[in-house]
């Protein structure tokens, strides 16, 4: 999946201090949990934030 996370979260949120804002923004996206979790992990990697299971669950609960 090739996606520009900056376009989704906004340039102003491409900062590690914006973690809670990004989690809230992604939580409210009209898409599936897998995509939300992928987008968060991608954002975290780009801004050098360690992506924890708690963060991922805050974005979207894993659905099997």
pLDDT (tens digit, 9 = 90+) per residue, 41-60? 999 999 999 999 999 999 99
Query: Please, are residues 59 and 20 in contact by the beta-carbon 8 Å criterion?
Result: no
CA distance 56 to 34: 10
What confidence score (pLDDT) does residue 40 get? 97
pLDDT for 24? 97
Distance CA 29, CA 56 (A): 14
1-20 pLDDT tens trace: 567 899 999 999 999 999 99
Could you tell me the pTM of the whole model? 0.90
Q: What is the pLDDT of residue 47?
A: 97
pLDDT above 80: residue 23: yes
């Amino acid at each position: 999946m090739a996606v520009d996370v900056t376009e989704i979260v906004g340039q102003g949120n491409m900062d590690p201090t914006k973690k809670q804002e990004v989690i809230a923004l992604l939580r409210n996206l009209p898409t599936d949990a897998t995509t939300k979790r992928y987008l968060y992990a991608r954002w975290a990697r780009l801004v050098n934030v360690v992506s924890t299971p708690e963060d991922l669950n805050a974005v979207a609960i894993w659905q099997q």
